[in-house]
């Protein structure tokens, strides 16, 4: 399908590329979220409970890539370059069945794990699920890859990274319960030369059946062991008409992403519809008494966008690293989601007393894992957050690494001397 033909399928009122593919994809790539159970390839999955947990998947993934348990250990992966195929033709074709897998988050049986996922409002932390989905998508890609050059005594030469999250759909009629097990499942749905698209599903037990709550599409990229170039992956073949439909949806998604890039405002100027839209927005805020670009009036029942701005600064410590000692996409997605949630939460002015520290510049998510024995946010947690914020502020101001010193408030006194 050409980009020209694709752009004519479902034209957008503002940009030809925007919203072109969404109706096409939603009809075929996954069933409706209102379905009582998830349609699965080849009947695999069904109502069966997975035998492994997400934690076990992470352990298997760590072993597969040869990751170390200590941050200080330096691992040279250059010797793995010889294991990479020189062309895609060297790799055998794989099916969607080969990469299909599922794992469980045992919130119903593991109370300590439950505290990691529960919010202060009694729900399930979506940010944590995004982290798990990202790791699980990587795991599915490694399951898909079958490299004839691989030897059993060496780890995989592939480095799988998250390119983008194409879409995530949540069922507005269902909410996750923190005291029930959650199942994550999925498979590779499309492949290019070095890229892979994965379809993921999040389900929870309801009336003795697994019911889908969330579905997502992650696009991953295979890189060499040093993460300096792309690596070839196995081609994907379809065995059933349903699989061909899913694969074709992946092709449409790829064309849509390419079309959006080609029509980016960084490449082409605004069209007439966009110019009209911008002018209408400008006129709605222009002061008719002063013909000036600086003087503007606030429309009725509105808030300036700049007043809703909320920022967060994260100091990434070794505990935040992935298998390759980098900050992984799931961690960033969780922080971005929680910051966006906090922004909407404060904008709505709901229970402001519970998020008042956000105005300090460090958005603090008040979840159960940060509580003390009295179910309150404990002082040490706040002191750590305050110190990291002050340290980062001094680092950015001086553009040098501040010197740590022991004691309190001696540490802040030392930071004050440096700035």
The residue range of the domain holding 197 is: 3-257
Instruction: Please indicate, yes or no, whether residues 144 and 253 belong to a single structural domain of this protein.
Output: yes
Contact status, residue 256 vs residue 17, Cβ threshold 8 Å: yes
Boundary (domain end) residue, out of 240, 257, 274: 257
Helices and strands, number each (H, E), in the chain: 11, 5
Q: Is residue 298 part of a domain?
A: no
- Classify residue 402 by its DSSP letter: P
Residue 43 in this model has a pLDDT that exceeds 60: no
Asked if residue 164 is part of any domain, the answer here is yes
Q: Are residues 227 and 344 in the same domain?
A: no
pLDDT band at 50 (very low <50, low <70, confident <90, very high): confident
According to the model, what pLDDT value does residue 398 have? Answer: 60
Residue 375 lies in a domain: yes
Residue 22 has pLDDT above 80, yes or no: no
Same domain for 246 and 324?
A: no
291 has a pLDDT exceeding 70:
yes
Q: Which residue has the higher pLDDT, 77 or 67?
A: 77
Q: What is the pLDDT of residue 69?
A: 62
**How many domains would you assign to the chain?**
2
- What's the pLDDT at 142? 95
Average pLDDT over residues 2-8: 38
Task: Clarify whether residues 44 and 157 are in a common domain.
Answer: yes
Assign 3-class secondary structure to the chain.
CCHHHHHCCCCCCCCCCCCCCHHHHHCCCCCCCCCCCCCCHHHCCCCCCCCCEHHHHHHHHHHHHCCCCCCCCCCCCHHHHHHCCCCHHHCCCECHHHHCEEEEECCCCCHHHHHHHECCCCCECHHHHHHHHHHHHHHHHHHHCCCCCCCCCCCCCCEEEEEEEEEEEECCCCCCCCCCCEEEEEEEEEECCCEEEEEEEEEEEECCEEEEEEEEEEEEEEECCCCCCECCCCCECCCCHHHHHHHHHHHHHHHHHHHHHHCCCCCCCCCHHHHHHHHHHHHHHECCCCCCCCCECCCCCCCCHHHHCCCCCCCCCHHHECCCCCECHHHHHHHHHHHHHHHHHHHCCCCHHHCHHHHHCCCCCCCHHHECCCCCECHHHHHHHHHHHHHHHHHHHHCCCCCCCCCCCHHHHHHHHHC
pLDDT(419) > 80:
no
Give pLDDT, residue 357.
30
Residue 64 lies in a domain: yes
Mean pLDDT of 162-172: 85
Asked whether residue 38 is domain-assigned, the answer is: yes
* Residue 386: predicted pLDDT: 60
> Domain check: are 66 and 193 in the same one?
yes
Query: Domain for residue 307, yes or no?
Result: no
Which of 245-249, 253-257, 336-340 has the lowest average pLDDT? Answer: 336-340
Query: Which residue carries 């410590």 as its tokens?
Result: 317
Is 338 in contact with 363 (CB distance < 8 Å)?
Answer: yes
- Write down the pLDDT at residue 143: 96
Residues 115 and 199 in one domain: yes
Is 104 strand, coil or helix?
A: strand
Confidence of residue 136 (pLDDT cuts 50, 70, 90): very high
The CATH number of whichever domain residue 108 belongs to comes to 3.10.129.10
> pLDDT digit string (tens) for 72-98?
566 778 889 999 999 999 999 999 999
Q: What is the model's pLDDT at position 304?
A: 82
Higher pLDDT, 62 or 377: 62
Same domain for 64 and 211:
yes
pLDDT in tens, 198-207: 999 999 988 8
**pLDDT above 90 (res 376):** no
Of 358 and 398, which is predicted with more confidence?
398
Picking from 233, 257, 281, the residue at the C-terminal end of a domain is 257
Q: What is the mean pLDDT of residues 165-184?
A: 87
Q: Is 17 inside any structural domain?
A: yes
Q: How confident is the model at residue 35 (pLDDT cuts 50, 70, 90)?
A: very low
Question: For residue 185, what pLDDT is reported?
Answer: 96
DSSP secondary structure, 9-65, as one string: TS--SS-TTTTSSHHHHHTTSS--TTSSS---GGG-STTPPPSSBHHHHHHHHHHHH
d(CA 121, CA 246): 37
Whether 63 is in a domain gets the answer: yes
Q: How confident is the model at residue 269 (pLDDT cuts 50, 70, 90)?
A: very high
* 54 and 158 share one domain: yes
- 85 and 225 assigned to the same domain: yes
Q: Is 361 left (phi over 0), alpha (psi -120 to 50) or beta?
A: left
pLDDT of residue 286: 83
More confident residue, 334 or 105: 105
Segment (H or E) for 182: strand 182-191
Q: Is the pLDDT of residue 255 over 50?
A: yes
> What average pLDDT does the chain have?
75
At 123, is the pLDDT very low, low, confident or very high (cuts 50, 70, 90)? confident
List Cα–Cα distances, 313 to 204, 318, 391, in angstroms.
33, 16, 11
Do 118 and 252 sit in the same domain of this protein?
yes
Q: Are residues 251 and 383 in the same domain?
A: no
The better pLDDT of the pair 165, 120 is held by 165
Q: What is the pLDDT of residue 26?
A: 38
What is the per-residue pLDDT across 306-365, written as a single tens digit (0 to 9) for each?
888 888 877 777 765 666 666 666 777 888 888 887 888 777 765 433 332 322 333 333
Interacting residues of 236 by C-beta distance below 8 A, sequence separation 6+: 93, 94, 95, 96, 144, 188, 189, 190, 191, 247
What's the pLDDT tens digit per position in 211-231?
A: 999 999 999 999 999 888 999
Nearest to 131 by CA among 332, 314, 339: 332
pLDDT at 412: 44
The pTM for the full model equals 0.69
Label residue 31 by pLDDT band (50, 70, 90): very low
Q: What is the dihedral of CA 108, 111, 113, 119, to 10 degrees?
A: 90
Taking residues 384-400, report their average pLDDT. Answer: 59
| 243 and 325 both lie in a single domain | no
**More confident: 90 or 378:** 90
């Amino acid at each position: 399908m050409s980009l020209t033909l694709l752009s004519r399928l479902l034209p957008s009122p503002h940009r030809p590329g925007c919203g072109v593919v969404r109706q096409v994809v939603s009809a075929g790539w996954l069933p409706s979220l209102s379905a009582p159970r998830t349609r699965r390839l080849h009947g695999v999955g069904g109502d069966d409970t997975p035998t492994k947990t997400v934690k076990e998947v992470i352990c298997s993934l760590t072993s597969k890539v040869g990751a170390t348990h200590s941050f200080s250990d330096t691992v040279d992966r250059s010797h793995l370059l010889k294991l990479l195929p020189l062309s895609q033709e060297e790799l055998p074709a794989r099916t969607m069945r080969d990469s299909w897998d599922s794992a469980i988050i045992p919130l119903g049986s593991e109370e300590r794990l439950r505290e990691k996922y529960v919010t202060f409002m009694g729900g399930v932390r979506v940010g944590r699920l995004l982290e798990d989905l990202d790791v699980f998508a990587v795991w599915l890609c490694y399951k898909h890859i079958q490299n004839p050059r691989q030897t059993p005594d060496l780890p995989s030469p592939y480095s799988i990274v998250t390119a983008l999250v194409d879409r995530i759909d949540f069922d507005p009629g269902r909410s996750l319960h923190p005291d029930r097990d959650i199942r994550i499942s999925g498979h590779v749905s499309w492949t290019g030369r070095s890229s892979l698209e994965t379809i993921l599903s999040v389900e929870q037990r309801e009336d003795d059946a697994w019911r889908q709550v969330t579905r997502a599409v992650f696009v991953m990229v295979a890189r060499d062991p040093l993460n300096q170039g792309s690596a070839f992956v196995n081609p994907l073949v379809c065995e059933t008409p349903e699989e061909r439909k899913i694969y074709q949806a992946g092709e449409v998604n790829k064309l849509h992403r390419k079309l959006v890039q080609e029509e980016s405002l960084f490449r082409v100027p605004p069209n007439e519809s966009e110019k009209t839209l911008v002018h209408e927005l400008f006129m709605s805020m222009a002061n008719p008494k002063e013909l000036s670009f600086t003087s503007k009036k606030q429309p009725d029942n509105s808030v300036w966008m700049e007043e809703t701005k909320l920022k967060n600064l994260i100091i990434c410590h070794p505990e935040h690293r992935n298998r390759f000692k980098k900050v992984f996409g799931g961690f960033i997605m969780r922080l971005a989601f929680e910051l966006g949630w906090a922004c909407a939460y404060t904008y709505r002015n709901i229970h402001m007393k519970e998020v008042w520290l956000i105005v300090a510049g460090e958005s603090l998510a008040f979840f159960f894992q940060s509580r003390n024995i009295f179910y309150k946010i404990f002082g040490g947690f706040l002191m750590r957050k305050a110190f990291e914020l002050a340290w980062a502020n001094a680092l950015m101001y001086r553009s040098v690494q501040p010197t740590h010193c022991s004691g309190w408030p001696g540490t802040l006194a030392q930071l004050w001397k440096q700035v």
